[in-house]
Structure 1
Amino acid sequence: MRSMIDVLSIVASLAALVFAVYQFYLFATTKAETGVYDAHSNTYHLWLAIAAAVIAVVCGLAFFVRRVNKEEEIHITQ
């Protein structure tokens, strides 16, 4: 069960990362109705990119934090 949660957190992190990159790409390249770049017309994509990046970081941290104590401790006397 633990490895399934690890795989799920990796997949969710990668999916959120891909979505964040795509939304940032849309924010950076989308033009307004006038055909001129306008940063205020597509801030929705920027907010989606920020939210997806936060989700990717949280899922990545969840994966790495769960793996810290996975090995059993080896005592120095053994």
Structure 2
Amino acid sequence: MTRFARTNLPLLKKTASYYVMHIVVAAAVAYAVTGNLFMAFTLSLLEPTVQAVAFFFHEKVWERRSPRQRLTQVSPAPAP
């Protein structure tokens, strides 16, 4: 396994489970709107795929932001 995959394995697993859940929900909504099973599955693949990639990078940004945010929240205010 590459270093990238080992380092990010929990996040990649979370992203994959989110992707599967998102496809199922998107397919159900698309079927409810179109009434066509083929069209529902076709529509449900594009948006969740883009969303899963966006989710991965969104989580990476939040991981980087969290330590800085904790430092500013814990640091005492400067004395007047």
TM range (shorter): 0.3 to 0.5
Q: Answer 1 or 2: higher relative contact order, Cα 8 Å, separation at least 6.
A: 1
Task: Kindly indicate which of the two structures has a greater share of residues assigned to helix.
Answer: 2
Give the TM-score, by structure 2 length. Answer: 0.39
TM-score (normalised: structure 1)? 0.39
